[in-house]
């Protein structure tokens, strides 16, 4: 949230042109809500909590996949070729989901853990790259 607000301040100050920055903010917020829902609603089959758990997990996965593919287009501060590694995270997530839903290669919990792990790596790299950009152009924002 803090990084997105810093980026919004920089966009308003004219550091870069990103008319749809709010879309990325919404995707990252949906990812956070989905991930939080995974923890709030335990995985207990055949209960209402199980249904809520699966809804939260699917929200997190879909948000993550969309974010990996469109971050470079929505936020033009990243290196020119960032869509390749970011897209690789998205393709990996799709592969993991297909491995569960189509081929039943592993159980639902294993799929969740794999997706949370690659999601955490992607979010950490996004956080690092945006922090580097902000530090380079407006270090005062990181101190506040």
> What pLDDT score does 108 carry?
87
Q: Are 115 and 64 in contact (CB under 8 A)?
A: yes
Nearest to 67 by CA among 127, 110, 136: 127
**Cα–Cα distance between 99 and 81 in angstroms, integer?**
28
Longest Cα separation, the chain = 52
The predicted-structure confidence for 105-122, as pLDDT tens digits, reads as follows: 999 889 999 999 999 999
Q: Structure pTM?
A: 0.87
Q: Are 24 and 71 in contact (CB under 8 A)?
A: yes
Q: For residue 144, what pLDDT band results from cuts at 50, 70 and 90?
A: low
> What pLDDT score does 79 carry?
83
The predicted-structure confidence for 56-81, as pLDDT tens digits, reads as follows: 999 999 999 999 999 988 988 988 78
Q: Are 65 and 82 in contact (CB under 8 A)?
A: no
The predicted-structure confidence for 2-31, as pLDDT tens digits, reads as follows: 889 999 999 999 999 999 999 999 999 999
> What pLDDT score does 80 carry?
78
Q: What angle do CA 68, 35, 135 make, to 5 degrees?
A: 55
């Amino acid at each position: 949230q803090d990084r997105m607000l810093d980026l919004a301040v920089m966009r308003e100050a004219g550091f870069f042109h990103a008319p749809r920055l709010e879309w990325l903010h919404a995707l990252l917020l949906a990812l956070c809500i989905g991930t939080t829902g995974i923890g709030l609603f335990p995985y207990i089959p055949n209960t209402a909590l199980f249904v809520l758990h699966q809804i939260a997990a699917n929200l997190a996965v879909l948000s993550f996949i969309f974010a990996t593919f469109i971050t470079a287009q929505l936020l033009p501060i990243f290196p020119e070729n960032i869509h390749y590694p970011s897209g690789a995270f998205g393709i990996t997530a799709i592969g993991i989901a297909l491995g569960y839903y189509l081929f039943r290669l592993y159980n639902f919990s294993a799929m969740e853990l794999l997706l949370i792990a690659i999601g955490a790596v992607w979010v950490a790299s996004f956080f690092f790259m945006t922090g580097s950009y902000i530090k380079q152009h407006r270090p005062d924002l990181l101190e506040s």
